[in-house]
Amino acid sequence: MLTRKQHELICFIEDRLAATGVSPSFEEMKEALELKSKSGVHRLISALEERGYIRRLPNRARALEILRTPDRVDADGNERPASRVAPQPANDVVELPLHGRIAAGVPIEAFEGSTSLPVPAALLGAGEHYALEVSGDSMVEAGILDGDYALIRKQEVARDGEIVVALIDDSEATLKYFRHEGAMVRLDPANRAYDPQRYAPAQVRVQGKLAGILRRYA
């Protein structure tokens, strides 16, 4: 049996995942449940996790997976059976669109053609994803090497410090750290041999955020 707040929280998370494919932030959960602090959200999440209703996906911010949900009561007071969300087996494979090569150095054209890349489902969180083959060495200090496959979650906004696919002047794309610098957008490499790139905000469109790296060994 769940407490009222636990029930409210899991229903809120389920509705947000169904609507956007992305779990809500702790701040959004705090506001939705009218809690005074995010520590209350942490306690509710931990309780739901212990009871087998959700699990936190490792190494991913804002990544919650619903394993089962409680029954709900509709506006007429009738009990509505809960939807059941089965966890993906660890050996499930997802075929992601592979959109060519992307520069981890100087910007190059991206999205050249479209094949697919098999990726373990356990590497991905919620949302829509695609893959790009990394070309160049400017992100080596972030552990991203030439020939790696960057797994990208589609989104059009980014926070400072996130690694994103940035489309420049609607023609060239690059994989870099995203930051604001005054009125400019700065794209930072992770290799001291390369200089940051600065653009007017209108020149840069975020095409997605790095969700993971897949590396093949010969």
Last residue of a domain, one of 55, 80, 105: 80
Do 122 and 179 share a structural domain? yes
Kindly report the CATH number assigned to the domain that includes residue 76.
1.10.10.10
Position 74 in a domain: yes
Read off the amino acid at residue 115: T
pLDDT of residue 79: 40
pLDDT of residue 188: 96
Number of structural domains found in the chain: 2
Question: Which of 191, 165, 170, 163 has its CA nearest to residue 100?
Answer: 165
Do 46 and 154 share a structural domain? no
Position 69 in a domain: yes
Cα 44 from Cα 41, distance rounded (Å): 5
Question: Exposed, middle or buried: residue 123 (CB in 10 Å: 0-12, 13-18, 19+)?
Answer: middle
pLDDT tens string for the chain (218 positions)? Answer: 788 899 899 888 888 877 776 778 888 899 999 998 888 888 999 899 888 888 876 545 557 778 877 765 444 444 444 444 444 444 467 788 888 888 776 554 555 556 888 887 777 777 889 899 998 899 999 999 999 999 999 999 999 999 999 999 988 889 999 999 999 999 999 999 999 999 999 999 999 999 889 887 65
Cα angle 207-98-158, degrees, rounded to a multiple of 5: 20
Catalytic residues, by residue number, are 138, 176
Do 130 and 205 share a structural domain? yes
212 DSSP 8-state letter: E
Position 87 in a domain: no
Whether 167 contacts 205, CB under 8 Å: yes
8: containing domain? 4-80
